[in-house]
Structure 1
């Protein structure tokens, strides 16, 4: 099994589409199927998983998704790209535990993990509705991944 699509709830479909395209995400589909039903699919660069949002595709409250996670090779380059694309991006941080990251901003320590240790450096941003994204730096994956 592979995770192919994550549905995210948005209030304004065109605003969300413009935001994600501005980040350089590929527009795969924009299908106005019928009145009240529109499906927009975009894929982050290099990802095998896409996001879908639109009208009539989610019953969740707009902006209610958090912890969506992207993996990148270079967190500093990723941050610069996101800022250039118009996202309000946090500074790079690592968690006080050195493991994953706490929910919200608890446990955040400014700056990358020591030596940019794999899986240890993060940044965060949200789309215009508040759906929350975490970006994690991974240069060398653990065996079997």
Structure 2
């Protein structure tokens, strides 16, 4: 039996603002459905991803901006950050972590710049949506 992750629900405070932001990032709009004032669903997919995001009105009780550490894998971290900045998205600096395979959520082992050997899964950068939900770019070279 497969258990595929296909959808992540994001809590946002302003649906139209979030929709415009994710379109600027490059996410594909898969659907925007409203049944009444208390229920609206916006479904979007990152470029090249089998997993989508969903946000809206009446879809979650989570507080806007509380999601942290959603990872988007890219083949070139520097190019991805440049592309986002060209689209008006503020990214954090590129960093690598001196611990093994994954980064810590604190700064104590972070170092500026991509991993010196550009090893897979070792270089990162972050950006936030307008509510503060955090995304992490993670480099996995082709």
Answer yes or no: same fold by TM over 0.5. Answer: yes
Q: How many pairs are equivalent?
A: 140
Change beyond 3 A, Cα 1:105–1:16? farther
Change beyond 3 A, Cα 1:39–1:105? farther
Q: What is residue 7 of structure 2 aligned with on the other side?
A: 5
Q: What is residue 112 of structure 1 aligned with on the other side?
A: 114
Q: Could you tell me how far 1:9 is from its partner in structure 2?
A: 0.1
Q: Partners in 1 of 2:108 and 2:132 — Cα distance?
A: 18
Could you list the runs of 4 or more consecutive aligned residues of structure 1 that deviate by over 6 angstroms after TM superposition? none
Change beyond 3 A, Cα 1:55–1:106? farther
Q: What is residue 129 of structure 1 aligned with on the other side?
A: 131
Q: Partners in 2 of 1:38 and 1:106 — Cα distance?
A: 41
Q: What is residue 38 of structure 2 aligned with on the other side?
A: 36
Structure 2 counterparts to residues 46-57 of structure 1, below 5 A: 46-57=48-59
Q: Could you tell me how far 1:99 is from its partner in structure 2?
A: 2.5
With the length of structure 1 as denominator, give the TM-score of the two structures. Answer: 0.92
Confirm whether residue 78 of structure 1 aligns to residue 80 of structure 2. Answer: yes
Change beyond 3 A, Cα 1:82–1:18? same
Q: Partners in 1 of 2:29 and 2:106 — Cα distance?
A: 29
Q: Could you tell me how far 1:11 is from its partner in structure 2?
A: 0.3
RMSD over aligned Cα atoms = 1.1
Gaps of 5+ in 2: none
Given that residues 98 and 113 in structure 1 are in contact (C-alpha distance below 8 angstroms), is that contact kept between their aligned partners in structure 2?
A: no
1:17-43 CA-to-partner distances (Å, cap 9, x unmatched) read 000001111000010122210000111
Q: What is residue 71 of structure 2 aligned with on the other side?
A: 69
Gaps of 5+ in 1: 141-145
Q: Partners in 2 of 1:98 and 1:90 — Cα distance?
A: 21
Q: Partners in 1 of 2:107 and 2:39 — Cα distance?
A: 35
